[in-house]
Structures are given as C-alpha cells and as structure tokens.
C-alpha cells in the first residue's frame, strides 16, 4: 500500500503541474508538458496495478486497458492539427470501449437504463450539443465532423454505463465511477467548445480541460480499485 499511496501522490503532483502548464502559452510550458502529460496514465495505472485492494476487483482489468489507451490519447493530442486530434480521439474512444465493457458486465439488470436519470441526462446532453460541435468540426476539416460525432457518442455511452452499475459493485465504487465519468465528459465538452466553437479562446480553458480530465481518470481508477 505504501507504493500505491506514493504513486497516487505522484499522480496528483503530475496532474497539478500539467494543469498549471496547460494554462500557459509559453514555449517552455509546452516543452515541459512533453514530460508531464505522457507520465500521467502510466503512474495512475501503476497505482491501480499495485493496489492490494484491487486484486480480483471487478473493474480492474478494463480500467487498466482504458488507462493504456488514455495514455495514447494524451500523447497524440500533444501534436497539433486535425490529424493529431483525430488520432487522439480514436485512442480515447478505444479506451472508453474498454471502460464500457467492464461497466456493462456489471450493470444493473433489474431496471432499464432509461429509468436512470443520469443515463437520460447524458443522452439528452448528447442530442443537444454533439451535432453542433460535430458540424463546427466538419467546417474545419470534413473528416473531423464524423470523428467528433462518433467519439462523443462513445463517451456519452461510457458515462451512461458508468451510471448504471449493479448492486454487486460497492456503493462507494459506483459513486466514484459515475463521478469520474461525468468529469471526463465535462473535460471533453470544454475541449470541444475550445477547439471548435470559440474564436481565440483563453488559454486557461486548457487548464480546465486537464483539471477535470485528471480528476475524472483518478476517480474511475479509484472506483475500479474498490469494485
């Protein structure tokens, strides 16, 4: 547990540092993020892998897979331009599919997902916002429109699945997982608005993206450890 705790503290320090760097437009900050951002998911995955509580946990293996593809997305999004964005979104999308597979395996079976208020809210938010963002993305690069629409659908499905876990998953793990998925959605919503909807957005929005993203990944990981 000491190793796990140290790794979680290291992750927190990296997340704080990368969030501060993300809010700066300076070249040195961008160069520093070439170190901090790629380290985030490996350190978080190591904390989950070494956590004794997580041995045999229901969501452990799929969370580790999601973190691996999250690392790919983090690295790819350090690049610039439509190709880098599209590649990063695809990597994150595969990670979300991994999360979804674990959540669905342990879903609530006694009630329809549509009876879940959080599931309905996520679906409604997607219907209201995703087409507009995808349309704006398509104006920048035609292929990006389909990428954004598909990715947002997968992300929303992940949030819905995270909010509909069954009773075999402990209550605290359910709450952490759902909260983490919600923060992930918030992070990518801010990223989508910053990238495709706003003209000359303030750099501090990138700090908001990273703060919510790193917190979301931590909560999903902690939920997996307690599952």
Q: What is the pLDDT along the chain (227 residues), one digit of tens a residue?
A: 689 999 999 999 999 999 999 999 999 999 999 999 999 999 999 999 999 988 899 999 999 999 999 999 999 999 988 899 999 999 999 999 999 999 999 999 988 888 888 889 888 989 989 999 999 999 988 889 999 999 999 999 999 999 999 999 999 999 999 999 999 999 999 999 999 999 889 999 999 999 999 999 999 999 999 99
Angle in degrees, 0-180, between the axes of helices 117-140 and 142-162, rounded to the nearest 10: 170
Any idea how long the chain is?
A: 227
Domains in the chain, number: 1
3-state helix, strand, coil in the chain (%, to 5): 80, 0, 15
In b/e form, how buried is each residue of 10-31, taking b as 16+ CB within 10 angstroms? bbeebbebbbebbbbeeeebee
Residues 78, 30: Cα–Cα separation, whole Å: 9
C-alpha pair distances (Å), 225 with each of 64, 69, 176, 211 = 10, 18, 10, 21
Beta pairing partners, 107 = 165
Cα–Cα distance, 123 to 144 (Å, whole number): 21
Q: Is there a contact between 92 and 151 (Cβ–Cβ < 8 Å)?
A: yes
Tokens of 214: 């790193």
Return all residues near 22 (Cβ < 8 A) that are at least 6 apart.
Answer: 29, 33, 203, 206, 207, 209, 210
135 with 78: CB under 8 angstroms?
Answer: no
User: For the chain, how far is it from start to end, CA to CA, in angstroms?
Assistant: 17
Report how far residue 79's alpha carbon sits from residue 34's, in angstroms, rounded to the nearest whole number. 10
pLDDT on residue 80: 86
Smallest Cα–Cα separation from 45: which of 16, 10, 90, 97?
10
Assigned token pair, 225: 């450890």
Domain span at 43: 2-226
- Residue 191 tokens read as 């990223």
Beta bridge partners of 165: 107
Report yes or no: 170 and 164 within 8 Å, Cβ to Cβ: no
């Amino acid at each position: 547990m000491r190793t796990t705790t140290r790794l979680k503290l290291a992750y927190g320090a990296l997340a704080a540092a990368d969030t501060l760097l993300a809010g700066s437009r300076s070249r040195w900050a961008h160069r520093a993020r070439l170190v901090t951002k790629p380290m985030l998911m490996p350190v978080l995955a190591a904390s989950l892998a070494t956590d004794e509580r997580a041995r045999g946990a229901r969501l452990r293996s799929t969370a580790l897979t999601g973190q691996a593809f999250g690392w790919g997305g983090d690295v790819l999004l350090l690049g610039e331009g439509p190709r880098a964005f599209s590649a990063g979104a695809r990597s994150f999308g595969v990670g979300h599919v991994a999360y979804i597979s674990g959540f669905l395996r342990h879903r609530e079976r006694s009630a329809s997902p549509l009876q879940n208020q959080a599931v309905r809210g996520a679906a409604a938010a997607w219907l209201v916002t995703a087409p507009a963002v995808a349309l704006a993305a398509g104006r920048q690069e035609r292929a990006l429109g389909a990428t954004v629409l598909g990715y947002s659908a997968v992300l929303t499905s992940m949030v819905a699945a995270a909010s509909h876990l069954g009773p075999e998953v402990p209550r605290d793990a359910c709450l952490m997982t759902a909260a983490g998925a919600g923060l992930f959605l918030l992070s990518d919503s801010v990223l989508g608005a910053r990238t495709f909807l706003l003209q000359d957005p303030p750099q501090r929005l990138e700090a908001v993206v990273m703060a919510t993203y790193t917190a979301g990944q931590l909560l999903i990981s902690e939920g997996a450890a307690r599952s």
